[in-house]
Structure 1
Amino acid sequence: MLNLQNWGVLDKEDGDEVTTISAIFLIEPRQCIQCNSEQIIKHGPKWTTYRDAPNYGKPSSIRAQLKRYKCKSCNCTFVQPVTGMHSEMRMTERCFKYIQAQSLRDTFTNIAHAVGCNEKTVRSIAHEYLHSLSDAYKPRIEGWIGIDETTLDGKLRFIVSDLKRRKPLEMLPDRETPTVSNWMWKHRNANIEVFVMDMWRGYRSIIYKVFPNAVIVVDKFHVVRMANEAVDKIRLKLSKDRVKAIGQDWKRRKSLLRMRYKNLSEHGKYNLDMWLENEPDIAIAHNLKELFYLIYEMPTREDAEALLDEWLDMIPADICKGKSDFKPLVTIFKEWRKEIMNYFDYPITNGYTEALNGVAKVMNRQGRGYSYEIVRAKLLFKNNVPILPSESGQPSQEVIDEIISKVDRCIKCGAPRMFGIATSFDDYEHCDDCFLEK
């Protein structure tokens, strides 16, 4: 029932909101914990309540009957030492570990409700645990790395992921050049083959300086999105020359322009064909967008390069003049063509890193006030908990042996008293075998 070593159950009370188990610790000390004298006498019981891990879907607590002792030699009083309980908090060690584990998966408020303790207690345990995880964290950075940024609390945070193993690697407090440069310089000896990123000049300049042999691949979705944006801007510009009703109708049907033509239903294709037949300028923009998508479907880099050159040559001058048409898309190929076309040598996207951006935002929104450090720890360690060094508070083997040596013995045979089937306080003077012989 209790499943705690060296503890015996006295009673169980199932309340509506909490389960309370009355228990007694079965190992009695034989010496004073101050002077090691064996001249100790019992000094009355003491009841102490400990929080336990949730049981059967509701909070659980242990009402422990602890024995007090008085030493005749040094005149000190003490409570019998117990195992299974946290040394600094009124809770079991497994409850403490439960809060630590859940702090990576749930909000502090929900954990406090499940355990039946104050939210501040959960926050204190979680902060200490998450900081210890951060201190012990040593990521393995190699292979194909995705980098991106996401906005948390009004600030852009730099996120790094392992695209092949699909694991988050790091979140930095900002994406400023000194911050990103320091992090990359710290890992300059890492065996990184590819960086997948968006078209941010700052990232590119740092990567080429720190990792001159790495390949940069521009995420294809950032590129093809610009083709859709160009068509949408042309639609908006042309709608201003139409009556208001036509402009509103175009707005309602803009999804027909954004979707690939091959993915439309027959009804959608019919409506789009009718629209493009009556609006030749939109038809030209839509056809350019469809042809641009075909570039990424080419089997080789050479074929893609050839189709790209053909596509650039066929863009009419009147829809390549400013920010409201295809000019931004054409311009990026003057500066980023090599990195964009590297996709055909390393066909991978930054989709996983983009997904991590959304996960981080959800964690931050659920927490309502989480610090950057807490969101970072939750993102990095939810499914990847680093191994912590042994805590100094854990008893050594010598201490464990000493505790075992002080176990009270059966008054008849001298064997350790195990209390497996004892039912009353008088039975605790015997081991199980001698108890059966009584």
Structure 2
Amino acid sequence: MTDLLNLPCLRVTDYEDCGDHYFVAAHGHLEPRPCSGCGHDDYYRHGAQKQIIMDTPIHGKRTMIEVHRRRFRCKICGKTAFEPLPDIDPKRQATKRLVDYIEHRCLTETFMSLAREVGVDNKTVRNIFDDMLARKESQHKYQTPEVLGIDELKIIGDYRAMLTNIKELALFDMLPSRKKANLLDYFRNLPDKGRVTTLVMDMWNPYRQLGVQELPGRLIVVDKFHVLRMANEGLERVRKRIRKGLDQKTRLKLKNERFVLLKRKHALSDEEKKDARKWFSLFPELGCAYDAKERFFEIYDQPTRSAAEIVASRWTNTLPTDVAKDFRDLQVALGNWNKEIFNYYENPVTNAYTESLNAIARQINRMGRGYSFEVLRARLLFEKQAIKKSPSLRKKPRQRPVSGYEFIQEFKRGLEGPAEEPVVEYGVDLLKLIQLFEDGYFS
């Protein structure tokens, strides 16, 4: 009989093409292992049992194996055991290679479609994925960052907390929610959280409460790009309000000037400066808003914290009444988050690269059609070619040990070459991840 299966532990006795699947009859031929009860290997036959085992598809068809599996009884202790089938997964009625096949495919296909393809239950695919995820979690223990960034992305209809290693520009973890209860539970069990010295966040109050409660004494820094964005949003409110009362032609022109107005004054070209002055003469309120935005940006141009606080206080006190309501959110933020905003001058770090993930949020959502958040998280966090690692470093030569035994052991190790320091994994390289998205790797 042709060896249709190519499984060393089984011998095929018959097979049938049933149209949408193959039915294969087979039996084992390996001798039983020593008894798990008493350790002896003195057995006698004690019947047999037919078991249905699913295998990887052949010729695009599901493969069902009916195994005639022998059972043995120990002559010493009377314990029974089936003959060993090392190619069969011990937890499921499936071959090990089918489990490997499902593990590989479940990251790119829905559980339901994969279950139909290979002929197993949808729950079986889910359980295999869960086991794989647990194994990957244990294999990839990313080092807890010194500078930890917290941000969020809206993925599959909900906001997900994104944790980053800002120092290494790496994605450290993704959480299913940004709610306080979920975050507290995660950070209570965060390993080596004593390594964290700085927490960088946007102005989402649960993040601050989390830092105070679970990471007391750490420096909390509000990401400056979130603060500056609020200044741009204030200018945008004024521009949009003015546009509403214009004719269509002028309204379209002012719409196209959006990116010019969001530029810093020193970055404008001569032509752009000319256009801006024209709009400001037509709409003085727009000029006031632009000036307010520019004066706010000057806060982060200051060399010291005290100088920045003076500029911020002056900005608040001299804000024109015509546009004050449009910058109201920013004024409130300066009051409620004053300490954390100016902590930037204690450690000038930003979540800029985490923010760059927002540029590919649409692609992530597209990935999510038909997938669960857990699958997306696994695809992003455990993509081998994107994991950022420390370089392998040789240890410095050790001094000669005192005892003779230690000297001999050291000498043996010396023959094998100098020991290497363990490689540290920081997380997923954000720049590499973005490159993979742009190259269509996750399509």
Amino acid at match of 2:284: P
2:348 maps to what in 1?
346
Could you tell me how far apart the structure 2 residues matched to 1:314 and 1:65 are?
A: 83
> Residue 93 of structure 1: CA displacement?
1.0
> Residue 312 of structure 1: CA displacement?
1.3
Are the aligned partners of 1:319 and 1:327 in contact in 2 as well (CA < 8 Å)? Answer: no
Are the aligned partners of 1:46 and 1:67 in contact in 2 as well (CA < 8 Å)? Answer: yes
- The TM-score with structure 1 as length reference comes to 0.62
Paired residue for 2:279, among 275, 281, 299? 275
Q: Deviations over 1:290-321 (max 9, x none)?
A: 4544554x483359727834971795422453
Could you tell me how far apart the structure 1 residues matched to 2:119 and 2:264 are?
A: 53
Are the aligned partners of 2:147 and 2:196 in contact in 1 as well (CA < 8 Å)? Answer: yes
Could you tell me how far apart the structure 1 residues matched to 2:8 and 2:265 are?
A: 67
Are the aligned partners of 1:32 and 1:39 in contact in 2 as well (CA < 8 Å)? Answer: no
Amino acid at match of 2:85: V
Are the aligned partners of 1:159 and 1:172 in contact in 2 as well (CA < 8 Å)? Answer: no
Are the aligned partners of 1:197 and 1:217 in contact in 2 as well (CA < 8 Å)? Answer: yes
> Residue 25 of structure 1: CA displacement?
4.8
1:110-189 matches, within 5 Å, as 111-112=114-115, 115=118, 117-127=120-130, 129-130=132-133, 140-150=143-153, 156-165=159-168, 166-169=170-173, 171=175, 173=177, 175-176=179-180, 178-181=181-184, 183-187=186-190
Could you tell me how far apart the structure 1 residues matched to 2:362 and 2:162 are?
A: 12
Could you tell me how far apart the structure 2 residues matched to 1:100 and 1:171 are?
A: 22
Greater alpha carbon shift after TM alignment, 229-238 vs 259-268: 259-268
Amino acid at match of 1:123: R
> Residue 281 of structure 1: CA displacement?
2.8
Residue 284 and residue 6 in structure 1: after superposition, are their counterparts in 2 closer, same or farther (change >3 A)?
same
Alignment root-mean-square deviation, CA: 5.2
Larger radius of gyration, structure 1 or 2?
Answer: 1
**Partner-residue secondary structure (3-state), 2:339:** helix
Are the aligned partners of 2:23 and 2:66 in contact in 1 as well (CA < 8 Å)? Answer: no
Could you tell me how far apart the structure 1 residues matched to 2:184 and 2:363 are?
A: 22
2:422 maps to what in 1?
none
Would you say 1:228 and 2:232 are equivalent positions?
A: yes
- The percent identity for this pair of structures is 25
Would you say 1:300 and 2:300 are equivalent positions?
A: no
Q: How many residues align?
A: 371
1:31-180 matches, within 5 Å, as 40=45, 50-52=54-56, 58=60, 61=63, 63=65, 66=68, 81-104=84-107, 106-109=109-112, 111-112=114-115, 115=118, 117-127=120-130, 129-130=132-133, 140-150=143-153, 156-165=159-168, 166-169=170-173, 171=175, 173=177, 175-176=179-180, 178-180=181-183
Could you tell me how far apart the structure 1 residues matched to 2:67 and 2:375 are?
A: 41
Is there any run of 5+ residues in structure 2 with no aligned partner, and where? Answer: 385-443
- The TM-score with structure 2 as length reference comes to 0.61
1:423 maps to what in 2?
none
Could you tell me how far apart the structure 1 residues matched to 2:132 and 2:240 are?
A: 53
Are the aligned partners of 1:291 and 1:311 in contact in 2 as well (CA < 8 Å)? Answer: no
**Partner-residue secondary structure (3-state), 2:221:** strand
**Partner-residue secondary structure (3-state), 2:336:** helix
> Residue 253 of structure 1: CA displacement?
3.9
Residue 18 and residue 25 in structure 1: after superposition, are their counterparts in 2 closer, same or farther (change >3 A)?
same
Amino acid at match of 2:348: Y
Amino acid at match of 1:352: T
Q: Deviations over 1:193-243 (max 9, x none)?
A: 111111133432442354342111111221111111111111133334545
Amino acid at match of 2:337: W
